[in-house]
Amino acid sequence: MRTPARLSMLRRCATAFSLVAGLAAALSAGAQPPPAAPATGGATGCPAILQHSFARLQDEKPQDLCQYSGKVVLVVNTASFCGFTPQYKGLEALDMKYRARGLVVLGFPSNDFSQESGSNKEIADFCESTFGVKFPMFAKSAVRGTDANPLFKQLAQASGTTPKWNFYKYLIGRDGKVVQAWSSMTAPDEAGFVSVIEKQLGAN
């Protein structure tokens, strides 16, 4: 027989059980991992400015620029018949000197200034035979205006300047941000220019 006291105790037990069950459910819900935040620069961690693929100059095979993630990247628009063409030699020396520390020079031949009329193979042969260029180079493309390749469009937007002539230089830090841009007049071995590169190479 259930006395009033026993009924009261049962009701208190039931209430307590409900509270515990509710608390457990809340804690269980709260233990679920939060939705994953969108990855910066894509699922691979590749910065947005490197999320492009270009044909390699020598054989026109597609190359993913994400392979240079985490490096200090110097992007240069080049031409074979320009007063600044001898800068190829300095750029190759720069790439060789600092490659082990994480620098890579990327060359983008362009006929935007009417000084690169050859085919991709002809450009590749000229660069290698004349200046011993080994740093990565890509198929001829536009680097300014509405027809500019997507990398140079991003470089122009980030730096506030488009190439005004051949051998403009854009430096991208390890974090994928554009550090600085230099005109054609800046030689690859100029002390101030090299100093900025060395500073970026030392950055974590």
Show which residues are catalytic: 82
The answer to whether 108 and 138 have CB atoms below 8 angstroms apart is yes
Partners of 6 in beta bridges = none
Question: For 178, what's the count of Cα atoms within 13 Å in the CB-facing half-sphere?
Answer: 20
Is residue 85 within 8 Å of residue 76, measured between CB atoms? no
Measure the CA–CA gap between 55 and 178, rounded to whole angstroms: 23
What the block records as the tokens of 144 is: 């300014």
